Structure 1
Amino acid sequence: MPDLAQAEELADLAHRGGVLTAVGLQARSAPPLRYLRDLVAEGYVGRVLSTSMLGSGWIGGATYDDRYAYVLDVMSGATLLSIPFGHSVDALAMVLGEFREVSALIENLRPEVTNVTSGAVAAKSAEDQIAVTGVLESGAVAAMHFRGGTSRATAFHWEINGTEGDLVVKADRAQWWYGGTQLYGARGEEGALTELPVPARYQRSLTQWTERSAEPACSVAHEYALLRDQIIGSLAPDEDGVPDFRHAVRRHAMLERVREAARAGRKVRLAEQGA
């Protein structure tokens, strides 16, 4: 779904046809993220005061290869905003709730990039820097910064800070939503962060993935398992299934509001669009 209009069209068709749908926002199905959401909901950090997320984009760097030439075009639907930022902000919303209002900067600071094979220089219209700040529906302050390409310092780092403690999510690769995340936390009088192993119950029936959590297919495997359980009706009464086309509409609407905030140079309330 490259844009909001197509997302709305497909969601409407699916609704009228009574079709079960799913979109590939696999971070929502990953055991570490489901555990993180429960830790927050159960009060591990107390009242959430703020959250900060720093990520590298993988796409949007100084070079490109022929397989990914299409991501240079801002109209392709495959940009820093729609892929790395989109997956990441959806995970943030899953754990902490949606944004109420946002301010944003979206920049293309590398309008020309180099082909890694031929050395040819190509024009790039897609963004390579995204900085979004805002307030969540809970009242917590949020800040997200995604940089094009990779960073020698930080691939992905996410902090959740509260009145009673802190939680941190780290990953060694930019495409962190595939898998390979580690959770850390500390609360109360605890001084240093310690790793928080994910309890076995979050693995569902995929125990074979317990020692393979760093593999790119890990989160996708869990999304498929969750979809299977949704289809056969074995989800727990309080358990949500995979995101559907209606959810895709919500997320695309939110990304459109982020672009609007960047264009206008002002704060934008998401509630105006129901995003």
Structure 2
Amino acid sequence: MVSVKAPDHYANVMAALNAGKMVLSEWPLGKNAAETRELAETAQAKGIRTFVGLQARTAPHVQYLRDLVADGYVGDVLSTTLVGSGFAYGGTVDQSNIYLLDPANGATLLTIPFGHTVDALTMVLGEFADLDARTVTRRTTVRVAQTGEEVPMRTADQIAVQGVLESGAVVSAHYRGGLSRGTNFLWEINGTEGDIRITGPNGHLQIGPITLHGARGESSELAELPLPAAYELPALADARTSPAYAVGHAYAGIREDLSQGTHRIADFTHAHRRQQLFDRIEASAKRD
């Protein structure tokens, strides 16, 4: 497993691939599209199984959400609205996280909190057919928590994406750096037959915890949608508020993939596909 800071992923992952080793890499896989593509192509050429830590898509509540939508809980999806706070990329930064402020390191608001969440969104609702985006740096400097020093904010602390999915559903998504005194994570899915609301304490869907509420048919008020036991590993049931909860389910998925020859867990090819979406967002932002 490669579990170092994002700028060092490429060298460590490539070394493992060249040694013929299967690799699980934390997300993001590479600093940019070129690194991600090369790693994916190398793994494919060598016939090596790979896994990438996009664990929001295997979190039990997200899996349940996907099935609710697929089974017609909301009917035809008309639109989805998302707002989230990135926790980092706000007014202060920990000394050890200053590297997050340089987009060249690949560990940005776009790739990490927004990236994990939009990966889950597309798994549940489908890929983007068209989009328009803004990436804006509203804070020019950030205060280092330990020293009080002001350092430059080089990366975007505001991301706004609007678009249309391949299904025709309309998307509006806004991520902002730091934390809000109001809403820090809200995702709504609105359909012809019902609505679902997903909430959490921050914009890192891959960490959670999250709660689902829904209503359909004649119901006019949202009610909690408890997670069915079938979606959860009993050994992790008491860890729902821990970051290890989603990761533990991802690890179980890797074990299943290796033992049964399935492909539940995102691999390097998927990582490259997701990086291409980020490139589309950044290209749209630059045009405007």
Q: Which of 68, 74, 81 is matched with 1:52 structurally?
A: 81
Three-state SS of the structure 2 residue aligned to 1:150 is: coil
Three-state SS of the structure 1 residue aligned to 2:206 is: helix
1:107-164, CA deviations, whole angstroms, 9 ceiling, x for partnerless residues? 0011111111211111111110000000000000001000000111111110000000
Structure-2 residue corresponding to 1:101: 130
Structure-2 residue corresponding to 1:4: 33
User: 1:225 is matched by which residue type in structure 2?
Assistant: A
Aligned equivalents of 2:94 and 2:40: distance in 1? Answer: 33
Three-state SS of the structure 1 residue aligned to 2:67 is: helix
1:242 aligns with 2:271: no
Q: Which of 226, 235, 260 is matched with 2:283 structurally?
A: 260
1:68 aligns with 2:97: yes
Structure-1 residue corresponding to 2:250: 223
Higher relative contact order (CA 8 A, sep 6+): 1
How many positions carry a matched residue from both structures?
259
1:16 aligns with 2:41: no
Deviation, structure 1 residue 234: 7.0
Deviation, structure 1 residue 211: 2.6
Q: Which of 238, 247, 250 is matched with 1:211 structurally?
A: 238
Aligned equivalents of 2:203 and 2:172: distance in 1? Answer: 18
Q: 1:234 to 1:74 in 2, by over 3 A?
A: closer
Aligned equivalents of 1:21 and 1:54: distance in 2? Answer: 31
Q: What TM-score, normalized by structure 1, do the two folds share?
A: 0.92
Report 1:171-190 matches (<5 A): 171-190=200-219
Contact kept, 8 Å, 2:214 with 2:224, in 1: the verdict is: yes
Report 1:81-160 matches (<5 A): 81-160=110-189
User: 2:136 is matched by which residue type in structure 1?
Assistant: E
Contact kept, 8 Å, 1:106 with 1:131, in 2: the verdict is: yes
User: 1:122 is matched by which residue type in structure 2?
Assistant: V
1:251 aligns with 2:274: yes
Aligned equivalents of 1:176 and 1:134: distance in 2? Answer: 21
1:6-57, CA deviations, whole angstroms, 9 ceiling, x for partnerless residues? 1110111100111110111001111100110000000000000000010001
Stretches of structure 2 lacking an aligned partner (at least 5 in a row) = 1-29
Q: What is the percentage of aligned positions where both structures have the same residue?
A: 47
Deviation, structure 1 residue 175: 2.1
